[in-house]
């Protein structure tokens, strides 16, 4: 059932077995996994089923360090959360990410890759990405001959499965139909009700229109993202003058993103026809597959380098520039066609699509007549990286002195990727240069921006850390189950509990962890 929280009805305290705060991919997955168990599940969403600018501004905050992050933009505050603007790239973390301690200190994952894998498998249907296959040689018709540098000791080709869905529109109907789930829209948590023993009784909420409510539950799960999870707990600790979950002074600390930018160019000795790395072939189940380069795990361990992945992007000055314009035009026409059929997609805007199609009409015509060479060989590739960021205590969420429209303290985020992160990228790219030289493939030219502030890197809009999972309370904020250290019934879910980020786009790991938490909560409820 979906409930408009702005309604004055149901003003009495609401009782649930499990209360989930945040209806992004993590919260939605958790609710659906728990459904059908005879439980009453409350799912609280700050926004609506669609974008609302006033609600979105509740995400605003102050950022110091790297100014690429805008807290009001990198997350979305409506049903489906950040999947409403995500890239859809799904891949599990690597085995080494779970096995090694973070570079530069702090503790690593207290659970193993083998323990996580079954949850990764179960996450796949949620993303509608087909089978859980990540061996490049098992994808579609791909053979060893299709891989670039298959014999290089330092490199490996890795696979990302492309999801084209958003959690909000995909699961809205399922949430509405579920008799054991109440999805409360427009409902912002303004406080945690926790007793002196660390046991949470419930939460207080308020809508922007002023409707206040109380929710009670046997178990509460905060699934609001790495910034908001920390912000809620910090706000509670500040109000209650306590340090719940903060024995190791790690609450809010260890914030991580995946800094991204160009690492360099690969100048090819001989022009290359289209390769799987930029032609996006489908798997046998139809899922679009992205092939990337990453370092072998042996080299990562031996050299102590950050995990990293590289997109190989054709970057030819001689490549026909009309290809991009034609692609935009075709995309616009497809959008208009879907709109006419009544299925426009969430982000479709007719005016924009119409303008795109008209502007590129001449190029579209040329492409339709086969006058644009799409099969042209490539002589230069951009190596675009997304790199693991070493967890650092100083990268953290704190509370600022400023307040939002609900009177809550805004988050203050300090995000500052380190010189060690940069040096790792340079070393990795140099190793790739060595490998391509040894293979006679070409030469690598490093990018010219590594001396610039934060090396001209950008955010990947990934938020991790801040409530780290740990085996001991002094090393983190939550235990191996995601339960807040010092509490029996308050859990945290999502990217905030990840002690390291690896190279992988994090949403799949977050959803896999959510399924794992659901199993744990089912066991606890049964007991």
Partner 1 sequence: MTRKVFNRRNILIGAVIVVGGGGMASALACRPDAESAALGEQLDRLRAALDDIVAPERIGRAYRAERGLSAVTAEFLDTPYLSMAAAYDCPAALRAHLRDQIRADFVAGDVVVADRFVVARSECILAALLA
- Would you tell me which residues interact with partner 1 (CB under 8 A)? 264, 267, 429-430, 432-435, 437-438, 440, 442-448
211: number of Cβ within 10 Å: 18
Instruction: Give me the least distance between CB of 270 and partner 1, in Å please.
Output: 12
CA separation, residue 526 to residues 11, 18, 34, 51, 431 (Å): 30, 13, 12, 38, 52
Give me the residues paired with residue 216 across strands: 15, 202
Which tokens is 293 given? Answer: 């380069």
Q: Which is nearer to partner 1, 72 or 268 (CB)?
A: 268
Q: Which is nearer to partner 1, 77 or 422 (CB)?
A: 422
Give me the residues paired with residue 314 across strands: 381
Instruction: Give me the least distance between CB of 420 and partner 1, in Å please.
Output: 18
**Rg (Cα) of the chain, in Å, rounded?**
24
Closest CA to 385 of 437, 435, 442, 450: 450
- Mutual angle of helices 25-34 and 167-177, in 10-degree steps: 30
Residue found under tokens 């409510």: 213
Instruction: Give me the least distance between CB of 436 and partner 1, in Å please.
Output: 8
Q: Which is nearer to partner 1, 151 or 249 (CB)?
A: 151
Specify whether the CB–CB gap between 416 and 287 falls below 8 A.
no
| Cα 92–Cα 97–Cα 100 angle in degrees, nearest 5 | 160
Instruction: Give me the least distance between CB of 458 and partner 1, in Å please.
Output: 20
Instruction: Give me the least distance between CB of 324 and partner 1, in Å please.
Output: 26
CA separation, residue 83 to residues 40, 381, 439 (Å): 26, 29, 40
Instruction: Give me the least distance between CB of 455 and partner 1, in Å please.
Output: 13
Q: Which is nearer to partner 1, 324 or 443 (CB)?
A: 443
Strand pairing class (61-65; 41-44): unpaired
Specify whether the CB–CB gap between 409 and 399 falls below 8 A.
yes
- What is the DSSP secondary structure assignment for residue 128, as one 8-state letter? T
**CA–CA distance, 310 with 155 (Å, rounded to integer):** 11
Q: Which is nearer to partner 1, 16 or 293 (CB)?
A: 293
Instruction: Give me the least distance between CB of 440 and partner 1, in Å please.
Output: 6
Which tokens is 379 given? Answer: 């002589």
Q: With the CA atoms of 68, 248, 102 and 123 taken in that order, what torsion angle do they form, in degrees rounded to the nearest 10? A: -80
Instruction: Give me the least distance between CB of 425 and partner 1, in Å please.
Output: 13
Which tokens is 237 given? Answer: 């600790």
State how far Cα 451 lies from the chain centre: 28
Give the side-chain half-sphere CA count within 13 A for 161: 31
Closest CA to 273 of 376, 370, 142: 376
Closest CA to 271 of 119, 415, 442: 442
Instruction: Give me the least distance between CB of 268 and partner 1, in Å please.
Output: 10
Instruction: Give me the least distance between CB of 259 and partner 1, in Å please.
Output: 19
Q: In 164-275, where does DSSP find H-type helix?
A: 167-177, 226-240
């Amino acid at each position: 059932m979906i409930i408009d929280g702005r309604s004055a009805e149901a003003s009495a305290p609401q009782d649930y077995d499990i209360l989930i705060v945040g209806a992004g991919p993590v919260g939605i997955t958790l609710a659906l996994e728990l459904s059908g168990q005879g439980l009453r599940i409350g799912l609280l969403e700050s926004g609506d089923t669609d974008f609302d600018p006033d609600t979105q501004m509740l995400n605003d905050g102050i950022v110091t360090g790297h100014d690429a992050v805008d807290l009001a933009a990198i997350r979305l505050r409506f049903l489906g959360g950040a999947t409403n603007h995500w890239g859809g790239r799904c891949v599990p973390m690597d085995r080494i990410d779970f096995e090694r301690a973070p570079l530069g200190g702090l503790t690593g994952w207290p659970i193993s890759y083998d323990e996580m894998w079954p949850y990764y498998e179960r996450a796949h249907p949620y993303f509608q990405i087909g089978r859980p296959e990540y061996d490049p040689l098992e994808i579609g018709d791909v053979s060893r001959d299709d891989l670039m540098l298959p014999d290089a000791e330092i490199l490996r080709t890795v696979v990302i499965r492309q999801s084209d869905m958003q959690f909000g529109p995909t699961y809205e109907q399922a949430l509405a139909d579920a008799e054991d789930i109440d999805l409360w829209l427009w409902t912002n948590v303004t406080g945690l009700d926790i007793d002196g023993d660390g046991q949470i009784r419930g939460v207080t909420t308020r809508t922007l229109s002023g409707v206040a409510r109380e929710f009670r539950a046997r178990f509460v799960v905060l699934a609001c993202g790495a910034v908001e999870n920390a912000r809620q707990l910090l706000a509670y600790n500040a109000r209650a003058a306590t340090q719940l979950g903060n024995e190791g002074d790690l609450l809010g600390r260890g914030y991580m993103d995946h800094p991204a930018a160009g690492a360099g160019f690969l100048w090819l000795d001989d022009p290359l026809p289209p390769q799987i790395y930029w032609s996006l072939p489908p798997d046998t189940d139809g899922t679009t597959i992205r092939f990337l380069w990453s370092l072998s795990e042996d080299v990562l361990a031996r050299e102590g380098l950050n995990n990293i992945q590289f997109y190989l992007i054709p970057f030819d000055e001689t490549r026909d520039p009309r290809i991009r314009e034609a692609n935009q035009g075709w995309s616009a026409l497809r959008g208009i066609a879907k709109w006419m059929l009544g299925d426009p997609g969430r982000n479709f805007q007719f005016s924009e699509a119409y303008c795109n199609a008209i502007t590129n009409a001449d190029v579209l015509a040329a492409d339709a007549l086969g006058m644009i060479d799409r099969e042209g060989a490539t002589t230069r590739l951009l190596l675009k990286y997304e790199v693991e960021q070493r967890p650092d205590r100083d990268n953290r969420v704190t509370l600022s002195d400023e307040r939002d429209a609900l009177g809550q303290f805004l988050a203050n985020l300090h995000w500052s990727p380190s010189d060690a992160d940069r040096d790792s990228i340079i070393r990795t790219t140099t190793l790739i240069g060595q490998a391509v030289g040894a293979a006679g493939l070409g030469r690598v030219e490093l990018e010219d921006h590594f001396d610039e502030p934060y090396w001209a890197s950008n955010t990947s809009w990934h938020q991790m850390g801040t409530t780290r999972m740990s085996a001991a309370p002094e090393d983190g904020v939550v235990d191996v189950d995601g339960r807040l250290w010092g509490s029996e019934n308050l859990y945290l879910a999502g990217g905030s509990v990840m002690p390291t980020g690896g190279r992988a786009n994090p949403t799949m790991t977050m959803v896999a962890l959510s399924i794992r938490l659901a199993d744990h909560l089912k066991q606890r409820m049964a007991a």
